[in-house]
Structure 1
Amino acid sequence: MGKIFDITLLILILLSIIFVMLESVKGLPIDTYRFLYYGEWVITIFFTFEYVARIISIKKPSRYIFSFYGLIDLLSTLPLYLSFFITGTSALLAVRALRLLRVFRILKISRYIGESNRLARAIKDSGAKILVFLFAVLVLCIIMGTVMYLIEGEESGFKSIPISVYWCIVTMTTVGYGDIAPATPLGQLIAAMIMIVGYGIIAVPTGIVSAEYAADRKSKKVNLNTQVCANCNCSDHRDGAKFCYKCGEDLHNE
């Protein structure tokens, strides 16, 4: 029953996000907007019951209420109810904007994905390396931006070093807005080198996280207390556990 409830919850979250996106589309039939409105009320009532049930069923409700997912649940449920208390034509636009907070429900999906725990830990373990890498990239952009300012000058749009650094960041990330472009042959040569370097730079953070993720799976840091049961979605297993404490499913069965 717990697994059925979790699957139903995921379906309703996705439906709610689809309803939010469809409500922003102009020109749909009136009946469609009416269906989306009533459908959102049904989903909101379901999430309200779920929120209240979580508070009632746990020993320390405050830990859930002020937790990350508890605040997400509250933010994604309240906006529709606020329409009863905020009246007036000018306030309708504010209510409609508040209803967009329902998209936060999609963040609740991650709690049911077991691999998300490993991915989050890999990103956390990679934080220092990524920060050092980004600092090195920033230093490189400042140096190359200064060089381009000296080479191109104001005639080509490089009016100051900050603008030149901005151009270097845009070029290195392969965004390429095109608002500034080098005109001299030397500047174009340096720009081409920056573009080539940019492709390699984009792949480095991904490689760092991937390496940490692979090491996390192989090392002893992978404790089963962070593993989610594939059968009933229960977590918080003890270290060294081989089977789920709730349903008995083999935790090593992949």
Structure 2
Amino acid sequence: MNSSYKCLKERLAEIIFGTETKAGKIFDVILVIVILSNSFLVVIESVDSIRHEYELILITLGWFFIAIFTIEYLLRVWVVDNKQSYILSFYGIIDLLAILPVYLGLFIPQLRFLVVIRILRLLRLFSILKMGRYISESSHLLLALKASRPKITVFLLTISFIILIMGSLMYIIEGPENGFVSIPESMYWAVVTVSTVGYGDISPQTPIGKLFSGLLMIVGYGIIAVPTGIISHELAQTSKRNTKICNSCHGRTYYEDDKFCSKCGKMLNH
């Protein structure tokens, strides 16, 4: 009995957490389909016309997916050796958050709107599709952002001053009669204008106001390129700092943990 129980547990663990076996691959494919279908269901449930017309079907499908996720979560907890490690892990918390609000909503109706959190199950795709190895490359971007922090800080402060000054000027020039009812409201207009979005809900009517607006738009186009240039430069510098040069062919490799040259295959010196 104990032997059968142990074999079943090991077999399920191999299927759920392993991807090399045929059964494991089938499990992953089914789970991907279920996660994507659940996410699509969450999206269309937010459309009033669809929700009212197909309410029963949507509710049934929703509980179907919740049942699958619940069974999957309980199985993962059961078969894993270190249960606490899985439960408190990133994906363990995501798996729990995908189902917990639904059950809490049965007792606390105010929490029913949290059922949309089950769309977080999409994050499980990073694990299933083995996308974690690409996340490690984000370290270069994080280093570039950290290195460019002083420049970005000065840039943001400058933009803040421009928005404050332009908002105050437009409040004086245009006034409440043209929609600039306060300095914060005018600053909102300045943010929208300098970002070149231009919602059009507030717009200057006087010639001087239009002149300042045009100047701010031109400044906005120049502003867009500044942070991009700063981060791009630091990203290039970060890549260079992590570059290894092969002594044999003098080629470059851009991965810190590379042991062999990507061009000639010779071992790299550390």
TM over 0.5: yes
CA contact (8 A) 1:152 1:183 kept: yes
What is the CA–CA distance in structure 2 between the aligned matches of 1:38 and 1:146, rounded to whole Å? 54
Task: Name the structure 2 match of 1:135.
Answer: 157
For the residue of structure 2 that corresponds to 1:137, the secondary structure is helix
Report whether the alignment pairs 1:45 with 2:70: yes
For the residue of structure 1 that corresponds to 2:187, the secondary structure is helix
Task: Name the structure 2 match of 1:2.
Answer: 19
Report whether the alignment pairs 1:57 with 2:74: no
2:99 to 52, 60, 77: 77
Deviation of 1:125 after TM superposition, in Å, equals 3.5
Aligned CA-pair RMSD? 3.5
Report whether the alignment pairs 1:183 with 2:202: no
Report whether the alignment pairs 1:166 with 2:185: no
Residue range with higher mean Cα deviation, 180-189 or 100-109: 100-109
- What is the aligned length? 218
Structure 2: runs of 5+ lacking an equivalent: 1-17, 245-255, 261-270
Task: Name the structure 2 match of 1:32.
Answer: 57
Summarize the Cα distance change of 1:29–1:144 in structure 2 as closer, same or farther, 3 Å threshold.
Answer: closer
CA contact (8 A) 1:17 1:103 kept: yes
What is the CA–CA distance in structure 2 between the aligned matches of 1:131 and 1:10, rounded to whole Å? 41
Q: Equivalences for 1:68-217 in 2 at 5 Å? A: 68-82=90-104, 86=107, 91-92=108-109, 94-110=110-126, 112-113=130-131, 114-119=133-138, 121-123=140-142, 125-127=144-146, 128=149, 129-217=151-239
Deviation of 1:66 after TM superposition, in Å, equals 3.7
Residue identity in the other structure for 1:126: L
What is the CA–CA distance in structure 2 between the aligned matches of 1:110 and 1:146, rounded to whole Å? 47
For the residue of structure 2 that corresponds to 1:57, the secondary structure is coil
For the residue of structure 1 that corresponds to 2:203, the secondary structure is coil
CA deviations 1:199-242 (Å, max 9, x no partner) are: 343344444444455554454179xxxxxxxxxxxxxxx94466
Q: Which is bigger in relative contact order (C-alpha 8 A, separation at least 6)?
A: 1
For the residue of structure 1 that corresponds to 2:99, the secondary structure is helix
Structure 1: runs of 5+ lacking an equivalent: 223-237, 243-254
Task: Name the structure 2 match of 1:231.
Answer: none
What is the CA–CA distance in structure 2 between the aligned matches of 1:41 and 1:80, rounded to whole Å? 8
Summarize the Cα distance change of 1:21–1:159 in structure 2 as closer, same or farther, 3 Å threshold.
Answer: closer
Larger gyration radius, structure 1 or structure 2: 2
Residue range with higher mean Cα deviation, 205-214 or 72-81: 205-214
- Normalising by structure 2, report the TM-score: 0.64
- Normalising by structure 1, report the TM-score: 0.67
